[in-house]
Amino acid sequence: MVVDQNSLNVKKYFSLIIFFLLFASKSYSNNFTLTKIIKLDEPWGSSFINNDEIIITEKSGKIKIVNINSKKILEVKHNLNFLDVGQGGLLDIIHQNNNLWISYSEDRGNSKTSTSIAKARLDKKELNFENIFRANPPIDSGYHFGSRLAIKDGYLFASVGERGQGMIAQDPTKHPGSIIRIHTNGIIPKDNPKFEGKPNWLPEIYQIGIRNPQGLTMSPYDQKIYLSNHGARGGDWFGEAKKGENYGWKILGWGGTNYSGTTIGPKWKPGFTKAIKYWVPSIAASAITIYKGKEFKEWNGNALITSLKDKSLRKLIFNDLSNLNEEVIFKNKIGRIRDIQVHPVDGKIYFLTGDNLWLMENK
């Protein structure tokens, strides 16, 4: 029997490559730990109020303060007139300088609700919220409220879903399907699009054409606002909030189709904002953050994107838009991921899933 040495060398080479890839994957997947902190009931939004405590909303209506060290839970009373319906309830919450802002599905009467935003001073016993924004018109629907909050230079940005109404996202005389920008006290900025060439836009609207934006964050590196959008059957995306522009829903389908299987529209065409990254099929993109911290310092500047459908954490390197690099950090380990927060001091990562608060840290 004649042995082909070249063939053996090729087989040996590919065996080494396969071994290396498997080993690298294994070592990468084992360089962090995921630890369950406490059990919750449909948590939705979270924000650190100090180095030891994180405030959390539960969709069904409770606001809780969790001590991440002692694991003690404090339930805080509040006065929000919310309606727990479909995808609505208490949604995102954000803390800054002893103030809280919350987005929620407000009960507007006659089964109609809106994505509304309220503000309160932080009080660990009882929160007295006052509305500073209400999406109009109120709609009888349990779908697509959005909604995330981000603060930049005294401006409050909020994502408002289109409530399952499709082309309403193309109507700038209505709030659903848009990015909102107001001052943190509720006052309307004088340089919003309505006052700079788009007189038919509602004064709070910053950008239109969005379906169900469940991620919103400010990058601590370039100070830009980024968002993620939950598409239909396919068509999830990650992109930048751009003043006076239009992401195209429901003229564009972003690569997805209706749930019935019918087509929506092209992935993108000139005249509309182009997303940085699309996912087809859908991953059900949810919360996002631009990582900055010590714990995973090699990720600094990267987008961390969570998902509901495939229960994954994804890292997106997007400093060069012509050469994006996406990695799935983990998948199917902790359930559907609703929110992500980075500890303000040590950089450890906290997740909200369907019924738990989780901690991710280096081994």
What's CA 279's distance to the chain center, in Å?
Answer: 15
Q: Identify whether 144 is a catalytic site residue.
A: yes
130's CB contacts (< 8 A; 6+ apart) are 118, 119, 120
Q: How far is the C-alpha of 172 from the C-alpha of 175, rounded, in Å?
A: 7
78, 144, 175, 230: which one is catalytic? 144
Side-chain half-sphere CA neighbours of 301 within 13 A: 8
Sheet hosting strand 337-342, strand order edge to edge: 32-39, 356-362, 349-353, 337-342
- The rounded distance, in Å, linking the Cα atoms of 230 and 220 is 24
d(CA 277, CA 76): 38
> Which pairing describes strands 349-353 and 337-342: parallel, antiparallel, or unpaired?
antiparallel
**Residue among 64, 33, 72 nearest 47 (CA):** 64
Could you tell me whether strands 205-208 and 113-121 are parallel, antiparallel, or unpaired per DSSP bridges? Answer: unpaired
Q: How far is CA 46 from the centre of its chain?
A: 11
Structure tokens given for 42: 């449909």
Which residue matches tokens 């016993």? 125
Question: Rounded to an integer, what distance in angstroms lies between the CA atom of residue 358 and that of residue 34?
Answer: 7
Asked if 211 and 229 touch (Cβ cutoff 8 Å), the reply is yes
Token pair listed for 210: 């969005």
Catalytic residues: 144
